[in-house]
Structures are given as C-alpha cells and as structure tokens.
C-alpha cells in the first residue's frame, strides 16, 4: 500500500465519522455532539420523559426520576432519584450515552456532578409553547428517530395554531395562577405557563416578579384582585387549595365564581401534553368572560 493510498483511506474514514456525528443545540445554546444516535438515555425530569416518548425514543430510556408517570410505559422505567437528587452510582450503572436534564429544578451541586461524568448532556428548558415541538425534533435528531419526531412536532404545531387563532383578539382576563397553596407559590412570565395564559388571552398578574416561582402572600393577591384564580393541582390531591379564596367575598374572582382547577401535570410540565392543559385553561378563561355578563 502506498503512502498516498494509506492517507486516502484515513481521510475517507475521518469523513465518514464526521458524517455520522450528530450535532444539536440544547435549550441553553450549548452544542451537544454524539457520534451516533443515542441508545441509552437517562431522563432527569418528568417532562423530559414525555418529550422523549413523543420523539420516538421511549424504548431508549434506561432511567428516569420520580413522577415520570406518563405515558403508561414510563412507569416501568427504573428510578434513580428525583429532580433535586440523583443517585450517581445507579446512574453510572445504567451506562447511559445521553443525559437529558432540566436545569431549572436541579441543584447546582448535582449539575456539577453530572457535568463531571463527561456523558453528553442536553439541557431541556422550554419557556414558550413553540419550544415544545422544537425540542421534540432536536431530541429526535439525537435519537435517530427524526421521522416520528417530525410527525409529533407537526401535529403539536397544528394544535397550537388552532388554539391561538381561536382566542386571538379575545378580551383580556387578569389571572392568578396558583401552583401551590401551603405556602402560596405562583409562576412568573419566564415560565411556560405564562405563555399558555397569554395564548388564551389572559395576563399573568405576577408575571413581572423576578423569581420564576415566587412565594407570595394572601395580601398580594387581594391587592392585585384577579378576575380569575386557577389552581394547577395534581390529580392525587384531595383539595385544590382554592378554598381559602372563598373566605374573601370581595375578591373579584370569588364574586364571579371564577375559581378554577386545571390538572397541574398538564400545565406545569413543559412537555407535549401542555397543549391539552392550554386548551383546558383557555376554556376556563372563556367561562370567566361569560360570567362578566352574568355577575357584578
């Protein structure tokens, strides 16, 4: 073999490897590079599990965290901890070739541990509804399931366009979204729930607060006097946390009977089911508009 022939073969091998590499930007703008489609993925948030299933990679998930309960098949995936604390030893035993992480709900210490593992890491941080189908397509690239991911993304975009068109131009409704009641927590405009409120023709009364999930007091809600209060509850909770507002009859939302519950798993998780959550929230705001003509 001549030197020229040898170097030609080396160049071809390098070119083939370069073509096989997959390069995708995560939600923080960092480029994630894989030498081939991910085969063993660890999903470190419930919404991540749902996104991976929507992208066609449910059978590639070898580990996940607490509350990753949708779709039904996700309930059989081994748990390695929760959003705040992962069992690193258990994670390594799974031999993952990709970690998909929700940075907003992970501790700085845990994120540093994950970075040190030198396993390719994709940060999932959807802040807008349009980010959901985009995330599914990018995860599909990393998994090599582009066709199914594209189909899922196209369907979600169609649903979003339909929802936006239906409520575009509707009279605005001032909304307090209650994510928790003991103590009171809400979400600001950087959380995807605020984008849901916006597409439904609502305004998040606490959207301008600096923290993404601020703790507030009853007095703050009374001062803002929202027309609608929505509680994003988990299905297993016996009470929604809305009962406290019934003790304040001068509150506009109470006067007009605009105290509503919506399944929090559909809204608080920035995954594909948030479109169903948005549809439910839009319906509640439409009820509030009807109540304007029926109550003081």
Name the 3-class secondary structure at 97: coil
| pLDDT tens-digit series, residues 226-259 | 999 999 977 665 566 899 999 999 999 999 999 9
Residue 5 lies in a domain: no
- Non-local (6+) Cβ contacts of 112 within 8 A are none
One domain for residues 178 and 227: yes
CA dihedral for 94, 97, 100, 101, sign (positive or negative): positive
What distance, in Å, lies between the first and last C-alpha atoms of the chain?
Answer: 92
For residues 163 and 214, give the distance between their C-alpha atoms in angstroms, rounded to a whole number.
28
One domain for residues 178 and 203: yes
- Non-local (6+) Cβ contacts of 21 within 8 A are 33, 34, 35, 36
pTM of the complete model: 0.89
One domain for residues 142 and 208: no
Among 108, 111, 125, smallest CA distance to 48 is for 125
One domain for residues 186 and 134: no
Residue 164 lies in a domain: no
DSSP labels for 147-206? HHHHHHHHHHHHHHHHHHHHHTTPPPEEEEEESEETTEE---TTSHHHHHHHHTTEEETT
Q: What is the mean pLDDT of the chain?
A: 90
| pLDDT tens-digit series, residues 123-150 | 999 999 999 999 999 999 999 999 999 9
Which residue has tokens 């608080």? Answer: 268
For residues 44 and 258, give the distance between their C-alpha atoms in angstroms, rounded to a whole number.
36
Domain count, the chain: 2
CATH number at residue 128: 3.40.50.1980
One domain for residues 42 and 89: yes
Residue 3 lies in a domain: no
Residue 163 lies in a domain: no
Range of the domain at 209: 170-292
Cα 96 from chain centroid (whole Å): 22
One domain for residues 110 and 179: no
pLDDT of residue 88: 93
Q: Name which residue leads in pLDDT, 182 or 207.
A: 207
Q: Which residues of 32-65 are buried (b: 16+ CB within 10 A; e: fewer)?
A: bebeebbbebbbbbbbbbbbbbbbbbbebbbbbb
**Which of 2-11, 76-85, 264-273, 284-293 is predicted least confidently?**
2-11
Residue 193 lies in a domain: yes
Residue 123 lies in a domain: yes
pLDDT of residue 222: 98
One domain for residues 180 and 248: yes
One domain for residues 133 and 193: no
One domain for residues 144 and 214: no
Last residue of a domain, one of 102, 120, 153: 153
Helix, strand and coil in the chain, % to nearest 5: 45, 15, 35
């Amino acid at each position: 073999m001549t030197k020229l022939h040898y170097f030609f073969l080396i160049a071809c091998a390098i070119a083939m490897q370069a073509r096989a590499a997959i390069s995708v930007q995560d939600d923080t703008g960092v480029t994630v590079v894989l030498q081939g489609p991910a085969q063993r993925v660890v999903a470190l948030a419930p919404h991540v599990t749902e996104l991976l299933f929507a992208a066609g990679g449910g059978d590639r998930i070898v580990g996940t965290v607490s509350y990753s309960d949708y779709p039904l098949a996700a309930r059989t995936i081994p748990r390695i901890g929760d959003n705040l604390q992962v069992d690193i030893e258990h994670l390594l035993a799974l031999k993952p070739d990709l970690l998909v992480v929700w940075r907003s709900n992970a501790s700085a210490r845990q994120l540093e541990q994950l970075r040190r593992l030198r396993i390719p890491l994709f940060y999932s941080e959807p802040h807008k509804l349009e980010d959901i189908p985009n995330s599914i397509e990018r995860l599909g690239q990393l998994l090599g399931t582009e066709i199914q991911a594209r189909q899922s993304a196209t369907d979600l975009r169609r649903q979003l366009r339909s929802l936006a068109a239906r409520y575009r131009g509707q009279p605005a409704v001032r909304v307090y979204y209650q994510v928790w009641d003991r103590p009171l927590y809400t979400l600001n405009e950087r959380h995807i729930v605020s984008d849901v409120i916006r597409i439904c023709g609502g305004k998040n009364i606490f959207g301008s607060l600096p923290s993404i999930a601020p703790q507030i007091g009853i007095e703050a809600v009374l001062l803002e006097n929202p027309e609608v209060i929505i509680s994003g509850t988990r299905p297993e909770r016996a009470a929604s946390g809305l009962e406290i507002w019934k003790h304040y009859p001068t509150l506009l939302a109470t006067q007009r009977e605009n105290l509503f519950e919506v399944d929090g798993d559909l809204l608080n998780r920035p995954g594909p089911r948030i479109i169903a959550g948005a549809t439910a929230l839009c319906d509640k705001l439409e009820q509030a508009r009807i109540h304007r003509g029926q109550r003081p």
